[in-house]
Amino acid sequence: MTLASMARKYEPRNVPETKVVTSAMIASLAAEGYETVAAPFGHALVEQARKNDRIVGLSADLSKYTDLHIFAQAMPERFYQMGMAEQLLMSAAAGLAREGFIPFATTYAVFASRRAYDFIAMAIAEENLPVKIVCALPGLTTGYGPSHQATEDLAIFRGLPNMVLIDPCDAADVAGMVPAMIAHDGPVYARLLRGKVPDVLRRHKPDYKFELGRAQMIREGRDVLVISSGIMTMRALDAVERLAADNVDVAVLHVPTIKPLDKTTILAEAAKGGRLVVTAENHTECGGLGEAVARELMLAGVHVPFRMIALPDEFLEAGALPTLHDMYGLSVDRVAAQIKSWL
């Protein structure tokens, strides 16, 4: 940075006051061919808050980038801007919960899982307080490199007692998880898709509704069973069409709740026999959905051909998301190619 650029950085700016809106520039991912819903989390939280005055919102200087600005605009007296202090954010949320409130604390997933973990463990999880932690940029949904890519967040929080984990696929999941989180009397960590979020699941299953702790079959298939969470359910559903051209019939079981895991549904579908079972997740191969499913299969004595689509156990590159998704096996083409190679 030159002296001139540093001077420009700190120059006061006269920006006309405008209403903050969510744009595609801060969306988590591109999803061609799908309609999108703007800021489903923010709007769902406002809807619930109008019915429940215990709900409050907190952010660590990232309200616009977690869609909490929608809540802040609608209910400024119930919004708390904590600044860039994630440990304080979690401690304050715990204090509000002790006073009878239902706090929604938002930040980036890397900051909650790495920087504020001990505060979440001691102040929130150990006390089993109803703090709802909602975090943007989960897994590989940003090209900004390891400092912003929360590829191991689920592994970190899976080992934390009392903590429920949600990995939503689309706008229906994000909107549906909000009332479910409120109804759950305990801490929840939810990955967040922000900005303009694709509406995926209801195209394939019109009656789809998010249910905490429940996996749902989105598409039946005879050859392969894909057990997926988060954006990888969308990728799996898109890969279905590519594989159908090669006469490969793929079932997709969507698992939006990583903990508690819907063992009953997963085991029942895997045990039907004759199918390759593939887990797909936007998370490192260590400690996420794939290992959780493999554990349950082994413990139950369900022996099936099994493979995992996941991010590698390494720090990832920075770059454009489409390039990175293709590089690390999360693109539709790579998902389809990997499944085909295993048959």
The answer on pLDDT for 15 being more than 70 is: no
Of 140, 132, 141, the residue nearest 26 (C-alpha):
141
The reply to whether 118 and 225 lie within a common domain is no
User: Domain containing 308: what range?
Assistant: 207-342
The answer on pLDDT for 76 being more than 50 is: yes
What digits encode the pLDDT tens for the residues 271-316? 998 899 999 999 999 999 999 999 999 999 999 999 999 999 999 9
Using 50, 70 and 90 to split pLDDT, how confident is the model at 5? very low
* CATH at 183: 3.40.50.970
- pLDDT higher at 189 or 8: 189
E strands present in 205-340:
216-219, 224-228, 250-254, 257-259, 276-284, 306-311
The reply to whether 167 and 269 lie within a common domain is no
The reply to whether 217 and 285 lie within a common domain is yes
Report if residue 21 sits inside a domain.
Answer: no
Using 50, 70 and 90 to split pLDDT, how confident is the model at 29? low
Report if residue 134 sits inside a domain.
Answer: yes
Burial 77-86 (b: 16+ CB within 10 A, else e): ebbbebeeeb
Q: Which of 86, 152, 281, 285 is catalytic?
A: 86
The answer on pLDDT for 12 being more than 70 is: no
Q: What is the pLDDT of residue 20?
A: 34
Active site residue 220: no
Separation between Cα atoms, residue 158 and residue 219, nearest integer Å: 27
What digits encode the pLDDT tens for the residues 212-261? 999 999 999 999 999 999 999 999 999 999 999 999 999 999 999 999 99
* CATH at 299: 3.40.50.920
Mean pLDDT, rounded, of the chain: 92
- Of the listed ranges 6-10, 86-90, 191-195, the least confidently predicted one is 6-10
The reply to whether 266 and 332 lie within a common domain is yes
Separation between Cα atoms, residue 49 and residue 5, nearest integer Å: 43
Q: Give the phi and the psi of residue 178 in degrees, each rounded to 5.
A: -60, -55
For residue 17, CA distances in Å to 20, 26, 60, 61, 195 come to 9, 20, 22, 19, 21
The answer on pLDDT for 196 being more than 60 is: yes
The reply to whether 54 and 86 lie within a common domain is yes
Taken in order 104, 109, 115, 118, the sign of the CA dihedral is positive
Task: Please check whether residue 28 is in contact with residue 195, taking contact to mean a CB–CB distance below 8 angstroms.
Answer: yes
Which of 152, 171, 198 is the last residue in one of the domains? 198
- pLDDT higher at 285 or 29: 285
Separation between Cα atoms, residue 332 and residue 90, nearest integer Å: 37
In this prediction, residues 39-52 reach a mean pLDDT of 98
In this prediction, residues 109-129 reach a mean pLDDT of 98
Domain count for the chain, please give it.
2
In this prediction, residues 99-107 reach a mean pLDDT of 98
- Of the listed ranges 26-30, 36-40, 257-261, 269-273, the least confidently predicted one is 26-30
The reply to whether 88 and 125 lie within a common domain is yes
The reply to whether 97 and 221 lie within a common domain is no
Report if residue 291 sits inside a domain.
Answer: yes
Report if residue 13 sits inside a domain.
Answer: no
In this prediction, residues 167-180 reach a mean pLDDT of 98
Report if residue 147 sits inside a domain.
Answer: yes
β-strand pairing of 257-259 with 164-166: antiparallel
The answer on pLDDT for 71 being more than 90 is: yes
The reply to whether 239 and 321 lie within a common domain is yes
The answer on pLDDT for 58 being more than 50 is: yes
